[in-house]
Amino acid sequence: MTSALGKDLLDLESLTPEQISLVLDTAVPFKEISERAIKKVPALRGQTIVNLFFEASTRTRISFEFAEKRLSADTVSVASSGSSVSKGETLVDTARNLEAMRIDMVVIRHGASGAAAFLAERIESNVINAGDGTHEHPTQGLLDLLTLRDHFGSLEGLRVCIVGDVLHSRVARSNIWGLRKMGAEVAVCGPKSLLPHAIAELGVQVFPRVEEAIEWAQALNILRLQLERMTSGYIPSLREYNRVFGVTRERLERAKHEVLIMHPGPMNRGVEIDSDVADGPHSVILNQVTNGVAVRMAVLYLLAGGNPELAEAAKGGGER
Amino acid sequence: MPQSIRDVLLEGGHVIDPATGRDEVADVLLRSGKVEAIGRNLGHPDGAERLDCTGAYVAPGFIDVHCHLREPGREDVETIATGARAAAAGGFTAICAMPNTEPVTDNQAAVGFIIRQASRVSAARVHPIGAISVGQKGDSLAEFGEMVAAGAVAVSDDGRPVVSAHLMRTALEYAQTFGIPVIDHCEELTLAHGGSMNEGIVSARLGLKGIPSEAEEIMVIRDILLARRTGGHVHLAHMSTKGSVELIRWGKDRGINVTAEVTPHHLTLTESAVEGYCTAAKMNPPLRTAEDVAVLQAALRDGTIDLVATDHAPHHYDAKDREFADAPFGIVGLETALALVVTELVDSGMIDFKTLVDRMSTRPARLFGLPGGTLASGSIGDVTVFDPNFAWQVDPATFLSKGRNTPYTGKTLRGRARYTVVGGAVVHRAIEAQSR
């Protein structure tokens, strides 16, 4: 069966705007399912899905697990830490084992950029990238797009600024691709030591100070700043980061317009984002989480060959 | 090396020998393992083997001053024998083996081992390179004198940079006692740390940590300045950036004894070869931009970069078949070097065959004080006879090297060694020439 998304979802860089719209549109009926008392439809009944998480993750893994279970798939989660080298079993062998078990779909999160593509090239199962190193996190990008579209109605011409450690962020890269493909204007803001050297070549504006970013943007996607960045010399301290780049209520109030607040989570309250901003009236952070399950249901459904028109019907319990 | 008592007459080839200025169709007569005479319609002694060289170039044997033979320690991936045979198949009559073996080649016994292993096989000559520091740890000097006496032709900690400027300075001074070059792998480790490809737009898109050009250039200028202070000969391994070329030119303009090499892959591939996380294109220094490639090609042409060296680095296929960041650096190169230079540099008009021979034979021999590099009468009988137009497709399964890690699989190249002659003995015959 041919899927509208191809065999795998590895990145947003290779998707067309039509494919992205398809996922977002398909997610809408699946969101409704999550509001019901019985949150289950048989769309993927009989499908076996493995969640292969080589990096610790709570929210993404649970989000995928619920997406799979709500579609009635049989799902197993494997949590494993460290690279395949330190584990002793190579990713190649892991791939071959999965194929031997005739798994239908694999959701993989791994610390190495390119790991999802590596797996996808070697097995016939559908592969969904749940985050590979610092490369991409396509379902996060998609749920961010859905959240923005819900709020603003359209992504065309929307001004979105990604704030924080763009250099090490797969969420940032997926957002940059997804937003630009949908016609949005994208900017990044952060200390130069945390921006890729070639960032301007990715087609984004660069703001050196967060005040300028806030003035320009209709929405901010605030990235988590990791403690390790401080210890490896990219910035001097988290305190200084908050004082210079933190999204605070004072900074937002100085802007002449309302700015939507997004964050992929988990948040470092008081570092990249202050609590009163995260919990404030312009924050859609929890909407992102809700949309996450729906978007993942849509992706799994479409990759399994689900007919987008039948997604509405799937709500009512029909076969795919 | 088995002594060939048979005379060899190389007939009708186009002889190019920049060292003597010869550039004409002529016969070459080898007797007792040496070049006896060159001329038209040379008579030949009875019993001489006659090799038909019509349509081919006849050059002093090519010399690769930088390759990794993995023995001792990683014989599963390459041995001195398989490496020397691969070299002969690639048209090389001599190769210099880097000392980052297991254990490291940092003493006379280890150097002697390599010499002995090489003598057991009839293929390219192998000249060992000794380590600069004991264990290549970068702390104390290895015994240059004893290693040279055992056969080492240069010293290097390649695989790694010489981190300490003081050690590099001392090595450059001490090496002058023995008249050998000090070869440095130029990499500033704190800048390069964790990087797996060139830092640029491709690394930004792929989410891979990049190695900026400056990681190489900082050490290049450091080494050039130390060569100036000490008067020693520093040879810069595998140059990859246009900035390095500028610095080398700066040094040469001031009469500093700096020489440099470039690999065939840095002359022909860019960072875009990594797309799709292709580990076959992962090496250190990494492939850079089209601009760097253009500058390196021009530098080879004008001689700022002195010679072509392969940095042949075989790896087990398992090792390369993994996540990009975890895969080891390096590709093989002995069997594709000549064809790459012919196809991408000569056929494109960037350099001519005379320059090719100069950069692959004349200069390596002269700059490293090695025998050969010329077909002057009385020289050792190391000759490379190659077909410039022979087209073939790269298929690693046919390599004589144990290593199959090449980014050129499936590529059609022109140029192949027809005969490789070492000390007057034919150590390699191309398949298509075997019936002649």
- Per residue in A38-97, pLDDT (tens digit) is 888 999 999 999 999 998 888 999 999 999 999 999 999 988 765 444 566 788 888 888
Average pLDDT, chain B: 96
pLDDT band at residue B2, thresholds of 50, 70 and 90? Answer: low
Do residue B277 and residue A114 have CB atoms under 8 angstroms apart?
Answer: yes
For residue A133, give the chain B residue with the closest CA: B207
Find where tokens 């399912």 sit.
Answer: A33
How far is CA A190 from each of CA A234, B53, B422, rounded to the nearest angstrom? 11, 65, 61
Provide the pLDDT for residue B41.
86
Do residue A113 and residue B207 have CB atoms under 8 angstroms apart?
Answer: yes
Best B193, B202, B205 member to test A by mutation, with max A CBs in 10 Å, is B205
Q: What is the pLDDT of residues A127-176, one digit of tens each?
A: 999 999 999 999 999 999 999 999 999 999 999 999 999 999 999 999 99
Looking at the partner chain, which of A112, A117, A173 has a beta carbon nearest the beta carbon of B276? Answer: A117
d(CA A88, CA A94): 11
Gap from A23 CA to chain B (nearest CA, Å): 23
For residue A195, give the chain B residue with the closest CA: B204
Average pLDDT, chain A: 91
User: Which whole number is the average pLDDT over B337-363?
Assistant: 98
d(CA B280, CA B145): 38
**Is pLDDT at B232 greater than 50 in this prediction?**
yes
Do residue A84 and residue B326 have CB atoms under 8 angstroms apart?
Answer: yes
- String of DSSP letters for A275-305: HHHHTSTTB-HHHHHHHHHHHHHHHHHHHTT
The answer, as to whether pTM is greater than 0.90, is: yes
Under the phi-then-psi rule, with left for phi > 0, alpha for psi from -120 to 50, and beta for the rest, what region is B375? Answer: alpha
Do residue A112 and residue B206 have CB atoms under 8 angstroms apart?
Answer: no
d(CA B213, CA B34): 45
Residue B193 at interface with chain A, using a CB cutoff of 8 Å = no
Q: Are B276 and B286 in contact (CB under 8 A)?
A: no
Give the β-pairing of B57-60 and B62-67. unpaired
Looking at the partner chain, which of B201, B210, B277 has a beta carbon nearest the beta carbon of A201? Answer: B201
d(CA A168, CA A239): 20
For residue A135, give the chain B residue with the closest CA: B207
**Is pLDDT at B112 greater than 80 in this prediction?**
yes
Question: Catalytic positions of B, please?
Answer: 311
**Is pLDDT at A102 greater than 80 in this prediction?**
yes
ipTM: 0.89
Q: Which residues of chain B have a CB within 8 Å of the CB of A115?
A: 323
Beta-bridged to residue B417, according to DSSP, are B386
pLDDT band at residue A316, thresholds of 50, 70 and 90? Answer: low
Gap from B407 CA to chain A (nearest CA, Å): 17
Q: What is the pLDDT of residues B4-55, one digit of tens each?
A: 578 999 999 999 999 999 999 999 999 999 999 999 988 878 889 999 999 9
> Which has the minimum average pLDDT: A232-241, B270-279, B283-292?
A232-241
Best B206, B289, B291 member to test A by mutation, with max A CBs in 10 Å, is B206
Q: Which of B391, B264, B390 is nearest to B331 (CA)?
A: B264
Q: Which residues of chain A have a CB within 8 Å of the CB of B324?
A: 112-114, 118
